Amino acid sequence: MAGLMAGFGHYTHAIVRGIPASLAKEALRTNQAEVDLDKARTEHDAYVQVLRTRLGLEVVELPADESLPDCVFVEDAAVVCGDTALITRPGAESRRRETEAMKEALTDLNMNIVEIADENATLDGGDVLFTGREFFVGLSKRTNQRGAEILADAFKDYAVSTVPVLEGLHLKSFCSMGGPGLIVIGSSDPAQKALKIMQQMSDHRYDKLTVPDDLAANCIYMNLPDKGHVLLHCTTDEFPESVKVFEKLKDHMLIPVSNLEKVKLDGALTCCSVLINKKKPDN
Ligand code: GLY
């Protein structure tokens, strides 16, 4: 298992997608928030620039689709681990067709594609936490038991445990990985309960980094050549107290990335990219 953990956070490519004008009025949201389209686009451009220019990832940018208001939240359309890409079946019907462009992009990247044929299954990538050792799958309004079972079939090398998501949209609305073996977790009762379940399910003792704000617990960890441990996290404008916690991570290159507009649509940092470590040469 140590071998499996060795490559944790190594990425070469990212898939992102443009923001359609329909995002502002039609994208799904749990609060009736007004979204400023220009601000959302500027914020997303800055996010993509960090991946491409600051971190040197090869970024595949899918065009926005006006008929898919939530399409910028690409994480929900696929789960990629190693050379395998599981194309999901998003829980929200309005989001199902987002998987088509994602499947094409992952096929072009020479990934082994697995699809969900079972119409009773639902799975959003936002409910999938991969720790490097195992998967935790949130059972939420968007992801069901059958979706988790299909994920377990697709990634047979890893244990898969399910975690009830009692509040928030997805499992990763209040947690993510902050490094190998390090779970970043929000402070709310539902977040802490979910962590407890994950700890009980696992035979590994994870370290934890507790941040005061649940939404701040969604960050992006990478381990990149020449850069080492990298963490994209919330800004001081959003969550000043949580930023103070991240600043204690002395071994990480810390990169604050703004998410003020997309959060109004329940979008977090991980939602806006699918990260890939591509080892197979192109044919
Ligand atoms: N707006 C993201 C979602 O609800 O799926």
* Residue 229 bears catalytic tag: no
Residue 209 backbone phi and psi in degrees, to 5: -125, 110
> Is 250 a member of any domain?
no
* Residue 271 bears catalytic tag: yes
Average pLDDT over residues 255-261: 98
Cβ pair 234, 259 in contact under 8 A = yes
Q: What is the pLDDT of residue 49?
A: 98
- What pLDDT, in 10s, does the model give residues 116-128? 999 999 999 999 9
Q: Given the CA of residue 142, which atom of ligand 1 is nearest to it? A: 5
54 or 32: which carries more pLDDT confidence?
A: 54
Structural domain count, the chain: 1
Q: What share of the chain is helix, strand, coil (3-state, %, to 5)?
A: 35, 25, 40
Q: Is the shortest distance between the CB of 15 and ligand 1 below 6 Å?
A: no
Cβ pair 207, 180 in contact under 8 A = no
pLDDT at 72 over 80: yes
Q: What is the pLDDT of residue 1?
A: 44
> Is 238 a member of any domain?
no
> Is 38 a member of any domain?
yes
State pTM to two decimals.
0.96
The angle formed by the CA atoms of residues 63, 64 and 67, to the nearest 5 degrees, is 135
> Is 177 a member of any domain?
no
Q: How far is CA 166 from CA 6, 124, 138, 188, in A?
A: 32, 16, 9, 11
> Is 283 a member of any domain?
no
Active-site residue, from 13, 44, 170, 252: 170
Q: Is the shortest distance between the CB of 69 and ligand 1 below 6 Å?
A: no
In the structure encoding, which two tokens stand for residue 56, read together? 């040197």
The answer for 79, left when phi > 0, alpha when psi is -120 to 50, beta otherwise, is: beta
The Cα 19–Cα 81 span in angstroms is 26
**CATH number of the domain within which 114 lies:** 3.75.10.10
Cβ pair 252, 225 in contact under 8 A = no
> Position of tokens 């590994």?
204
Q: What is the pLDDT of residue 6?
A: 75
Domain region containing 75: 2-169+187-205+267-276
Question: If pLDDT is split at 50, 70 and 90, which confidence band does 101 have?
Answer: very high
DSSP conformational letter for 119:
T
The Cα 203–Cα 15 span in angstroms is 32
- Minimal CA–CA distance to 75: which of 269, 278, 279? 269
Q: What is the pLDDT of residue 281?
A: 62
- Minimal CA–CA distance to 49: which of 39, 59, 40? 59
- What pLDDT, in 10s, does the model give residues 50-68? 999 999 999 999 999 999 9
Mutate which of 28, 31, 35, 173 for ligand 1? The one with the most ligand atoms within 8 Å of its CB, which is 28
- What pLDDT, in 10s, does the model give residues 210-253? 999 999 999 999 999 999 999 999 999 999 999 999 999 999 99
Average pLDDT over residues 5-27: 95
Q: Report the separation in Å between the CA atom of 263 and the middle of ligand 1, taken as the mean of its atom positions.
A: 10
Q: Is the shortest distance between the CB of 152 and ligand 1 below 6 Å?
A: no
Nearest CA to ligand 1 atom 3: 28
> Is 236 a member of any domain?
no
Q: Is the shortest distance between the CB of 28 and ligand 1 below 6 Å?
A: yes
In the structure encoding, which two tokens stand for residue 17, read together? 């997608």
pLDDT at 3 over 80: no
Mutate which of 141, 143, 169 for ligand 1? The one with the most ligand atoms within 8 Å of its CB, which is 169
pLDDT at 5 over 90: no
The Cα 15–Cα 131 span in angstroms is 20
Cβ pair 229, 223 in contact under 8 A = yes
Strand, coil or helix: 248: coil
- What pLDDT, in 10s, does the model give residues 159-190? 999 999 989 999 999 999 999 999 999 999 99
In the structure encoding, which two tokens stand for residue 110, read together? 């020479």
Q: What is the pLDDT of residue 283?
A: 57
Q: Given the CA of residue 126, which atom of ligand 1 is nearest to it? A: 5
Cβ pair 252, 231 in contact under 8 A = yes
pLDDT at 138 over 90: yes
The Cα 137–Cα 146 span in angstroms is 11
Calculate the average pLDDT of the chain: 96
Average pLDDT over residues 192-206: 97
Annotated binding-site ranges for substrate: 28, 70, 75-76, 95, 142, 265
Q: Given the CA of residue 76, which atom of ligand 1 is nearest to it? A: 5
The Cα 133–Cα 73 span in angstroms is 25
